[in-house]
Amino acid sequence: MIPLIVEIEALTKVYESKLRVVAVDGIDLELKEGEIFGLLGPNGAGKTTTISIATTRTLPTSGTVRIAGIDVVQHPAHARRHIGVVPQFNTLDRSLTVYENLYFHCRYFGFSHAQAKARAMELLGQFLLTERKDVYPAQLSGGLAQRVQIARAIAHRPTVLFLDEPSAGLDPQSRMAMWGAVEGLRGEGITVLLTTHYLEEADSLSDRLAILDYGRVLALGSPEKLKATLGAHTIFDLKLKLRDGLQPLAAALRARPNVTGADVTADGLRVVAANSDGLLPELVRAAAGHGLLDLKITEPSLETVFIQLTGRDLRE
Amino acid sequence: MNNSTEVRGQRSETSPSAGKAAPAPAERHGLGKQLKSLLELLLRDLEVLTSGLGSRASGKAGSGNSFAGSPGSGIFFKAFLGLFLRDLRVLLREFHVFLARVGMQPLLFLFVFTFILPRMGGANLMATGGGVDFGTILLPGLMAVAIMFSGIAAVALPLSQEFGVTREIDDRVMCPLPLWAVALEKVCFSAMQSIIGALLVIPMAYYVPASPVRVHVANWFLLALVLVLSSLLTGSLGLVIGSTVNPRQIGLVFSILVVPITFLGCVYYPWARLGKSGLVWIQIGVLFNPIVYMSEGLRAAVTPGIPHMPWWAILLALVFFTAALGRWGLRGFLGRVLS
């Protein structure tokens, strides 16, 4: 059996301030050794809070998280030895060079001078940073800084690496490079938990993923499985000029064999269909009377899965 | 190298427990629930620490975690040393800046008050009577100021920045060390700077003043004790300021906190003379000011000829303020890094 590296059980986090916010609302997750696991959800879904708790930075309201069998609330200092973190923002030590950032990180984790030096040089090579070893973080571009952060996070050979929105603020080229770096970690046997609100990222990187919204897990499985069981659907968004009497039309469409859902939206109508053959002309005909302004078709993807689960767009 | 690691680490373990024993009576005065939970947290971390110790003693890898290079043993001490070395590297890179920072103020003070002014206004301008010249009064006071400024500059300023926009503290908070030890490292490192700063004042006081300063260290042990306690005290004060004050308002701290406690800290006058001058209300009022005990303590150690508080009262007050500020600062620190 493949050992479990991260075990999250009935995790909740409630922020009690003026406004009571339930950031995490009973999450259960298990990560197996060596897998890349994605947490997908819109902003405010509870992804970052979940990661903060797992990385000992936030105390849960209830529930437990174990990293390599160690309870992160009971033994945070021990658990941290198994944890590598790439935070959402650049937290590189501004007073140290790139090399020193890696070197001292190793020292924090008990490496001797010689071990830390060797490991830092190895990582500089692995992440193509050797030329920039004496540069200070303030002089690095966003993509390079992110690369240094990943190198630093894995420097002490953690069991699990947490990447919080790793591609936020990166240009497309740097994002591809970052994906490459994460893919490269597979060879090292590190378990990776990454949060993202980019569907492409979750789809292409993760072996399994969980879709989160309002602090709860809505769906869990491999991207393929999620698409197959939940999302082999095409979504038609119709933008209509005249929005009176749409309910009967929606009801009529729902009665059609391949249509799994038809709802009135703010702009017009949203139709979800398992099989779109021949549906398009019919929709256009039906909508003609309502003044069809625009029609958007979303092919089956994680995005359609997400829209079906939450009823809203990930980018909204 | 390994031996020195352990010695340093040992200190990191014993000093908080000593600090913990002191605040226990204060709990009865109603500091209450938060303190209790803090103590529990400390205890829990101590447990983790001692379990690390145990595995080191038995020579086994702790809980079977294979760890790069050093399986399980002494990781806390090494992590603490790593943090200390990091701070040392940053300090040494800008050592001239550090020297200017800690040296400029006492140098100018001595130059103006003990070199320029005596020549301008005759002998008695700043004289305090009894044949003791101002330089002798000023030396321990300036050492106290040097200690305090280093403490605040070494902890409060970087911390408020690291807590602020950059969140640089995150990586150090994620090292395999209990959080209180991360805060303690900051305080210890600042204490080291404070001691250097204070010792720098002595040669200055020897060379700058027009008339010689009468330094007489009667008790080296007392001097060392006062230096270390004062430095830990200001480091703790720095921790309080750094973790509670908004980075944008850190400048304000200097004008509304640092300057007043310096001027009312018996730096430029001995505490005993306040009473003799009929200023008893000031004499009592300044007892709440920790700087008073630093300057009086150094006075007792370096210039015992000048009237000063009894040594036991000084040490008691220094320990009390260090423990109180340390606890307050740690609570602030934990509040900033844990949510």
Angle at B328 between CA B221 and CA B44, to 5 degrees: 90
3-state secondary structure of A33: coil
Which of A52, A68, A81 shows the shortest C-beta gap to B176?
Answer: A81
Name the phi and psi angles at B217, rounded to 5.
Answer: -85, 105
Q: At what angle do helices B2-21 and B32-57 cross, to 10 degrees?
A: 150
A110, B70: Cβ pair inside 8 Å?
yes
Contacts of B83 in chain A (CB under 8 A): 108
pLDDT tens digits, B170-198: 888 888 888 899 999 999 999 999 999 99
**pLDDT at B263 (0 to 100):** 86
Q: Strands across the sheet with A62-67, in order?
A: A20-32, A4-16, A62-67, A70-71
pLDDT band with cut points at 50, 70 and 90 for residue A235: confident
Domain layout of chain A by residue ranges: 4-92+140-228, 233-299
> What digits encode the pLDDT tens for the residues B304-315?
777 888 888 889
**Structural contact between residues B292 and B271, judged by C-beta atoms closer than 8 angstroms:** yes
Q: What is the mean pLDDT of residues A158-170?
A: 87
For residues B156 and B253, the answer to whether their CB atoms sit within 8 Å is yes
Tokens 């590297």, residue?
Answer: B89
**Which candidate in B171, B177, B338 is best for mutational testing of the A interface (most A CBs within 10 A)?**
B171
Q: Where are the domains of chain B?
A: 94-337
CB contact under 8 A, A78 and B63: yes
| Residues of A in Cβ contact (< 8 Å) with B171 | 91-93, 105, 108, 152
For residue B148, which amino acid is it? Answer: M
**B336 in contact with chain A, both atoms CB, cutoff 8 A:** no
Residue pair B230/B147 in contact by the 8 Å Cβ criterion: yes
Mean pLDDT of A103-109: 93
Share of chain B above pLDDT 90, in %: 18
β pairing state of A83-86 and A160-164: parallel
Question: Interior CA angle at B97 toward B94 and B103, to 5°?
Answer: 140
CB B196 within 8 A of CB B153: no
> Which CATH fold would you assign to the domain A233-299?
Alpha-Beta Plaits (3.30.70)
Instruction: Say whether residue B168 is in contact with chain A using an 8 A CB cutoff.
Output: yes
d(CA A205, CA A183): 7
Residues 6+ apart with CB under 8 A from A142: A90, A169, A170, A171, A174
At A22 the three-state DSSP class reads: strand
Q: How confident is the model at residue A85 (pLDDT cuts 50, 70, 90)?
A: very high
CB-CB under 8 Å, A91 with B170: yes
Higher pLDDT, B85 or B50: B85
Round to the nearest angstrom and report the end-to-end CA distance of chain B.
37
Q: A149 to chain B: nearest residue by CA?
A: B171
Considering only CA atoms, which of A94, A238, A51, A289 is closest in space to residue B166? Answer: A94
Contacts with B68 from chain A: Cβ below 8 Å: 109, 111, 115, 119, 156-157
> Given its phi and psi angles, is residue A141 left (phi above 0), alpha (psi -120 to 50 degrees) or beta?
beta
Report ipTM (2 d.p.): 0.77
**Interchain proximity A156–B68, CB inside 8 Å:** yes
The hierarchical CATH code for the domain A4-92+140-228 is 3.40.50.300
**Is the pLDDT higher at A120 or at B302?**
A120
Give per-residue pLDDT as tens, A175-187. Answer: 888 888 888 888 7
Q: Is the pLDDT of residue B70 over 80?
A: no
Q: Is A198 helix (H, G, I), strand (E, B) or coil?
A: coil
